[in-house]
Amino acid sequence: MLGVLSRRLGDFDRAEEALSDALAEALARWPGEGVPERPAGWLVTTGWRKALDRLRRDAVGREKLARLAIEPPPEPGVDDRLATIFGCCHPALTESSRVALTLSAASGLSTAEIAAAFIVPVPTMAQRLTRAKRQLRERGVRFEAPQPHEYPDRLPAVLSVIYLVFNEGYLSSSRSAQRRELAREGVELARQLAGLLPGEPEAAGLAALLELHQARAAARFDSWGRIVLLDQQDRRRWDRPAIERAALRLRAAVRLGRTGPYQLQAGIAALHALAPSYADTDWTDVRALYDRLYAVDPSPVVLLNRAVATRFALGPAPALAEVEAVGDRLAGYHLWHAARADLLAALDRPAEALTAAERALELATNPAERELMSRRVGELRRR
């Protein structure tokens, strides 16, 4: 909704004001009148009218009003969301700012949710969003969809946005354990992007990656909403036809000859999805793909994930050494402490494992992850 209004008004701040006015009116009217059949469309239309009212009340606004089409924008859909994402990823901004701003405008994620996705404090993310909007305003940048020839420059940020949208839905950082509609939207946006840019292997790689994850979504939580780890999932509940389709998409992308991080991540996901069991996973190949991924995306999180493969390919001691090596960069990341706890337990160092697991629990924000880590802490305390 914010993205629709921003693109139509060409001004992010005015769009935020308009949507805020529309939400205030909804809170006043909906309790008595009932929620409209299409609430998103109602909010867009009401926000548009509120924006026009504001423009009529000031001189600069009246000049802008003369350049705008008066009819209200259509109800937002997936097509519009993708256009909004491209419009937000303006080269005037750094890539991290583009991604953060787009998550706010196109997907409606809160500042706290975006901060969790970037693993930064909430005040830091709030400042980043404010700075990004100010930069666009000071440079006179219109908030609008780019022309097709501008797509390549904006594609890396667009891919990042769609990936983070999916992740937020797949394992939400909010109070909801799983926001399935947001995950489905991420998959649909990735598929649409792959269709829009058939010659871009990373667009197809991202679509394959999200499809592979989504294909096993039904087995990731139990009936109580608790996380089920990969080694304990009932693989009979995985969507095998979807896995096969995603694998075919990935093979077609790889044949284009420009391997990137999303194709490599999809390759890792495919090795897990196609393995007959957790024990039969080709951990050597998984680890090799993580090495290739680190070469193009030198992130400490990639090394942390590789350590999981190292545990099964080479043993827990080498894996722990890999985890310890990135501790200075991931000390505030709950999954670093969780991985360390598991490896210390595997090496029969229960006291150290308990300390690490307790720290992981302290840092976790997602309810489902906290429940999982709480169980782990309980197990270690009973040892």
The predicted pLDDT at position 172 comes to 58
The predicted pLDDT at position 239 comes to 96
**Paired strand residues for 221:** 227
Residue in 111, 84, 112, 89 with CA at minimum distance from that of residue 99: 89
**Paired strand residues for 227:** 221
DSSP one-letter string for 47-69: HHHHHHHHHHTSHHHHHHHTTS-
The predicted pLDDT at position 87 comes to 75
What three-state secondary structure class fits 5? Answer: helix
Average pLDDT of the segment spanning 144-156:
80
Average pLDDT of the segment spanning 144-173:
80
Whether residue 154 is predicted with pLDDT greater than 50 in this model: the reply is yes
The predicted pLDDT at position 23 comes to 67
- Choose the weakest-confidence range: 36-40, 59-63, 184-188, 251-255: 59-63
Structural tokens at position 159: 């891919």
Question: How many Cα atoms occupy the beta-carbon half-sphere of 360 within 13 Å?
Answer: 23
- Choose the weakest-confidence range: 108-112, 317-321, 361-365, 366-370: 108-112
pTM listed for this prediction: 0.76
Q: What is the mean pLDDT of the chain?
A: 83
Q: Helices (DSSP H) in the chain: which residue ranges?
A: 2-9, 12-33, 39-56, 59-65, 78-88, 95-107, 111-118, 122-138, 151-170, 180-196, 201-215, 240-255, 261-274, 283-296, 300-313, 316-325, 327-330, 334-346, 350-363, 367-381
Q: Which amino acid is at 149?
A: H
Average pLDDT of the segment spanning 136-145:
71
Render pLDDT for 361-377 as a digit per residue (tens, 0 to 9). Answer: 999 988 888 999 999 99
The predicted pLDDT at position 9 comes to 62
The predicted pLDDT at position 109 comes to 73
The predicted pLDDT at position 174 comes to 45
- Choose the weakest-confidence range: 39-43, 87-91, 186-190, 350-354: 39-43
The predicted pLDDT at position 333 comes to 95
